[in-house]
Amino acid sequence: MNQLLLGLQHCHERGILHRDIKGSNLLIDRDGTLKIADFGLANFFVPKPKRPLTTRVVTLWYRAPELLLGATDYGVGIDLWSVGCLLAEMFVGRPIMPGKDYWKIMRLPTSFRPPQHYKPTIKEAFKDLPPSSITLLSTLLSLNPSYRGTATSALQSQVTFNLIRSGPNFN
């Protein structure tokens, strides 16, 4: 997680959205060094002036809700949602949102606004995860993209530090 977030921090600070973060696009060498690969869907983003971006990015299993609903005005939150999916996947041992693309073409606003009454149920859905991971996972999988923060804020959280020290053991 630390290496992935550092890589995304590097990209995002330079105005690059990866737009396809998933396990098969993360390369790990024998020394445990992670490299983010496949920038084929990557794009520059600038906060102002905003320009519409395509929704046909990110592999479906890691695609943020705003993309599924047709938003064309998005930012780093789409990469962070994918990171949250990967974090949960590492603990659970399988993709947490596998599915098929059944979305019909709909006329939706180009900016996504979640309902105010939304309350995350991450704690219930992932009750077997270590408590130290629930806060970070809840942040990364927030329905509202603005609540997901940034790669920098995820790196600065005590939760991330705890995950790095005591994260899942895959040996």
Structure tokens at 100: 């098929």
SS3 162: helix
How would you label 60-73 residue by residue, b for 16+ Cβ within 10 Å and e otherwise?
Answer: bbbbbbbbbeebbe
What is the torsional sign of CA 86, 87, 90, 91?
Answer: negative
State the catalytic residue, choosing from 20, 29, 31, 38: 20
- Of 98, 94, 83, which is closest to residue 133 (Cα–Cα)? 83
Annotation marks residue 20 as catalytic: yes
Helix and strand counts by DSSP (H, E) for the chain: 7, 4
> CA 138: distance to chain centroid?
11
Catalytic positions are 20
